[in-house]
Structure 1
Amino acid sequence: MPDKYGVGEDAYCYPGSSVLRNKLNIRDEPTLSEAEQQLSAIAAASVEFNPPPYSLTYLQDIHRQLFSDLYEWAGELRTVGMAKQDTRFCQPQYMEAEASKIFANIAAANWFEEMSRAELIVAVSEAYSDINVVHPFREGNGRAQRILFEHLIMNAGFEISWWGIEKTEWIFANIAAYNCVMEPMEQVFEKCIGQMIQP
């Protein structure tokens, strides 16, 4: 039975089901989704900000903190191929190399420090979209990635808030960016990135 990511039967799910194996042994998707939302929201409050360098390992650590109460594989890179509709994410064997390139580019841009707000919106939109295509985890990519980008944006000296961004808006922006149309993602970050943080 294919799940929402189209991976079909895989070791992450209960046999004959699209429900991810979990520590609470929840067997239906709505209940699991609710538990995931609540547990990750509680865990997110305790994820500490750290300055750069940022890396795939840093993102894995965020994911582990968010989801270790629910999934045995929290923080581990996925081992199955994944797609959403026409979006094919990076194959597992290439994820580390691709992520390394993306983080090397961000490091080369000095972690986006000293950028104006307008420059930051463009840079962050591209970097976010690139990491989203890597999609390193079986589930929970968006939540882990948003915390990573909170840290990146705050370190660059700007406020960041995700309030007011609809789920459909996120999905549309990610699909557009996958197809090399960056304006919707830039519009998302135009809303999310606030004023410069006063020292």
Structure 2
Amino acid sequence: MVDKYGTGDDPACYPGTSALRNLLNIEDEDLLEEAEKEISSITASEIEFSPPPYDLAYLQEIHRTLFADIYSWAGAIRSVDISKGETRFCSVIRVVPEAEKLFSHLNALNNFTELNREDLISNVAELYGDINMIHPFRDGNGRAQRILFEHIVINTGFEISWNHVDREEWVNANIASVHCDYAPLQAIFDRCIGGEI
């Protein structure tokens, strides 16, 4: 059986299912997804804004907080290569070095704090797409990454809201970024990033 990340008979899943082994012992993938959404919406409220530095460890802590009640591996870097549809994410042996490069670039640009709104949108879209390609966790990457980017944007002094995002548009924009076409993500972030706080 192929799971949603295309790894096949995955020992991280319950036998004969595509549901990741979890602390709730939910073997149905749809029920597990629903539990993830409900629990992570509660645990997300426990994550407080912190100033930089933003790095892989910061993203791992966000993931750990979101999913510690669901997965024993919450916050841990994945140990297998994964793909979704036609998209093959970063090879597991490159996750840490590639993430370090991206976060070093963010920190070298003073966490985007000196950019005007237009340049902020452009840089945020590119960084989001590139970190998404790394996909450091076995599951829950999108939720953890959105919180990270809320913190990055708020730290620059701008507002951000995900209320203007259509799911299909979001998925297609992330797929486009795989091919370094960041324009769809830029269009979304142009709507999501508001005025100065």
Q: One fold, TM greater than 0.5?
A: yes
**Alignment-derived partner of residue 110 in structure 2:** 110
**Alignment-derived partner of residue 13 in structure 1:** 13
Is 1:180 matched up with 2:180? yes
Is 1:52 matched up with 2:52? yes
Is contact 2:121–2:193 with CA below 8 Å preserved after alignment?
A: yes
**Alignment-derived partner of residue 76 in structure 1:** 76
Question: What per-residue deviation string (whole Å, max 9, x for no partner) do you get for residues 132-191 of structure 1?
Answer: 000000000000000000000000110000012111111100111111111101011011
Is contact 2:99–2:134 with CA below 8 Å preserved after alignment?
A: yes
Structure 1's unaligned 5+ residue stretches are: none
Q: CA deviation at 1:84?
A: 1.3
Aligned residues: 197
Q: What SS class does the counterpart of residue 46 from structure 2 fall into?
A: coil
Aligned partner letter, 1:196: E
Q: CA deviation at 1:70?
A: 0.4
TM-score by structure 1 length?
0.97
Aligned partner letter, 1:12: A
**Alignment-derived partner of residue 92 in structure 1:** 92
Aligned partner letter, 2:61: D
Aligned partner letter, 2:28: D
Is contact 2:56–2:99 with CA below 8 Å preserved after alignment?
A: yes
**Alignment-derived partner of residue 135 in structure 1:** 135
C-alpha RMSD of the superposition: 0.7
Structure 2's unaligned 5+ residue stretches are: none
TM-score by structure 2 length?
0.98
Moved over 6 A (4+): none
**Alignment-derived partner of residue 157 in structure 1:** 157
Instruction: Give the Cα separation in 1 of the matches to 2:20 and 2:164.
Output: 29
Aligned partner letter, 1:2: V
